[in-house]
Amino acid sequence: MPRKDAGKDALYAAISRRMIESGEWERISDLLLKRLNEAGWVDQVHHESKETARRADSTPVRQLLEQLKPHAESTVPPAVRQEVLAVIRQYLDSQIER
């Protein structure tokens, strides 16, 4: 029996491939990094990550990343999140066949 989400997975893979091939993925990634840097988010997360790693002693890196990821994601400034999501939506709208 086919998976329920197989169609969604195929669509996601096709969109991802198109974004990468067109250079849009890199452009959006660069925009995100630029905005996060401007907001001081990168420095903040870097500092918090170093402190967490110091306290964690010999915790494997993968486990540290799993610990840090939810907090890092939740502290992305709303304006940055909204801007990047708007750029992604705009790209997706431009790719929809009408």
Show the domains of the chain with their CATH numbers: 7-95 (1.10.246.140)
In this model, does residue 80 exceed pLDDT 80?
yes
Distance between CA 77 and CA 79 in Å, rounded? 6
Confirm if 28 and 87 have CB atoms less than 8 A apart. Answer: yes
Distance CA 98, CA 90 (A): 15
**Predicted local distance difference test score (pLDDT) of residue 63:** 93
Spatial contact of 88 and 27, defined as CB atoms under 8 Å apart = no
Distance CA 78, CA 35 (A): 11
User: pLDDT tens digit string along 30-48?
Assistant: 999 999 999 999 999 999 9
């400034």: which residue's tokens?
A: 77
Q: Report pTM.
A: 0.81
> How many whole angstroms separate alpha carbon 46 and alpha carbon 95?
36
Q: How confident is the model at residue 21 (pLDDT cuts 50, 70, 90)?
A: very high
Max CA distance (Å), the chain? 56
